[in-house]
Homo-oligomer: A and B are copies of this chain.
Amino acid sequence: MKSEHDKIKRLRKKVKKLKRKLAEAVKPASGPAVSPLAPKDGFPKLPTIAGVRFCAASAGVKYANRKDVMLAEASAGSTVAGVFTRSSTRAAPVLDCQAKLARLKGPATGKVGIVVNSGNANAFTGKAGLKSVAAVTAAAADVLGTSPDLVFSASTGVIGQPLPHDRIITRLQTMVQDLSADKVDEAARAIMTTDTFPKGASATCEIGGKKVKIAGFAKGSGMIAPDMATMLVYIFTDAAIDQPVLQEVLSDLTGPTFNAITVDGDTSTSDALLLVATGKAGNPPITSVDAAGPFRDALHKVMLELAHLVIRDGEGATKFIEVAVTGAESDAAAHTVGLAIANSPLVKTAFAGEDPNWGRIVMAVGKSGEFADRDSLTIHFGDILVAEKGWVSPDYHEELGANYMKNADLKVSVDLGVGEGSATVWTCDLTHQYITINADYRS
């Protein structure tokens, strides 16, 4: 009897264990709740920016019970700069922002408002799309006590479905009571779609003896590719700075930051970056690009950090990859070669498999269309010399590369050896999780 009981006990244990293993094996590849590349410390403590307040609320744009609208307010007298997607099918809010910014070359004569919803992109929604934008920005202007010309909007989510703008307008009435200087994290969360973590960054600098602060946040995870200000990004500063200077510095810095990242080579219809300067720091106003040095450096830091965070939250990403190209015929050629590598599905799947497959890097260089000479090419993985003079380095061993590939943060350096041009771009790997997310998610 004893042995029978033992047998039954053992078998039951076995059944339990197998059931657990089976459940594990067949569960949908839902992936980690948060990207493995997310900052370990979570959303950073951002400084408050004098003159700027935020709030977020649930309007039920697509899903109930999640905060999906954010409202930001900046004080009257702020200057505003922006960069936007160059897609020819850009969404209604983008068109509206561009039109308003073109008319706003000086300090704003009233409060500046920014209202953003997730869950619906209000893109490819015909004339109804512009009507929704007009209704939302008018309502926001109304609650803020400002002009609709000073209210910018953005929408992110599904393309091609009418925006239920009434739900947003209803919430705006009560949201305005909640505006607060320290709710930036709520705002950053409210604009997320397939993002797995909110993204924030800040920096400070000194101008004319005054401390100037810059703080911003971004959303973006898929449909991320250069040639625009990628995804939605909002940056605030208390610097006093003329609008044309603000715009020029912003435009210049977009190239080596947001335009140098790619998740999947797909360009969103809704990408927008707004930069608002309240002027409350009390610094002597920056009136020329030449005088913008320290501000420019601090802004560069914030923009690069936010751009990198978007890659760290790339859909399905398990590797953060820097691709540094040197020795090209020009900087533009280096950028093209960098993107050819960073957008190659074969390169990206090799990284996903931790396969030091430098042959695919060679392939990507070759297809870029830029001048390259096989026998002048040098490739490094981190500090490891992999290939030079048209062939694998005699000191390279497969184990060296394979060990290096186990890192979460990787660097590929390619020297074309034909000129002085250089550029760096950032990307992530292409994994099963990207397929899982995008074969189901309706964007």
Contact = CB atoms under 8 A, between A and B. Distances in A.
Interface of A: 1, 4-5, 7-8, 11-12, 14-15, 18-19, 21-22, 25-26, 85, 87-90, 121, 123-128, 158-161, 222-223, 225, 227, 264-269, 343-346, 349-350, 352-353, 355, 357-360, 362-368, 370-375, 377, 387, 389-392, 430-432, 434-436, 438-440, 442-443
A158 B125 CA distance: 47
A346 B266 contact: yes
A439 B266 contact: no
B353 A439 contact: yes
Given A12-B11, A267-B367, A389-B126, A359 B18 contact: no
Contacts of A346: 222-223, 264, 266, 438, 443
B89 A374 contact: yes
Contacts of A392: 124, 160-161
A252 to B, nearest CB: 22
Contact of A432 (B88, B363, B374, B432): B432
A363 B157 CA distance: 12
Given A346-B443, A440-B355, A362 B160 contact: yes
Given A8-B11, A364-B266, A392-B160, A377 B435 contact: no
Contact of A435 (B265, B344, B431): B431
A61 to B, nearest CB: 16
Nearest to A438: B349
A432 B430 CA distance: 10
A443 B349 CA distance: 11
A387 B359 CA distance: 42
Contacts of A266: 344-346, 360, 363-364, 367
29 contacts: A14-B15, A15-B18, A22-B22, A25-B26, A87-B367, A88-B368, A89-B363, A90-B366, A121-B359, A124-B374, A124-B392, A125-B390, A125-B391, A126-B375, A128-B391, A158-B359, A160-B387, A160-B391, A265-B343, A266-B364, A268-B363, A346-B443, A349-B435, A349-B439, A353-B438, A353-B439, A357-B442, A430-B435, A432-B432
A227 B362 CA distance: 17
Nearest to A9: B11
Nearest to A126: B391
Contacts of A265: 343-345
A200 B254 CA distance: 50
Given A160-B358, A355-B439, A435-B435, 7 more contacts: A18-B18, A123-B362, A160-B359, A345-B434, A349-B434, A360-B443, A432-B436
A392 B129 CA distance: 12
A89 B416 CA distance: 11
Given A18-B15, A21-B22, A438 B367 contact: no
A428 B355 CA distance: 25
A161 to B, nearest CB: 8
B159 A360 contact: yes
B264 A223 contact: no
Contacts of A25: 22, 25-26
A359 B122 CA distance: 11
A287 B87 CA distance: 48
A314 to B, nearest CB: 11
B269 A366 contact: yes
Contacts of A223: 346, 363
A141 B211 CA distance: 78
Nearest to A363: B269
Contacts of A161: 392
A121 B18 CA distance: 45
A-B pairs with lowest CB-CB distance, top 7 = A159-B359, A353-B439, A89-B366, A126-B391, A87-B366, A267-B367, A25-B25
A344 B358 CA distance: 24
A368 B267 CA distance: 9
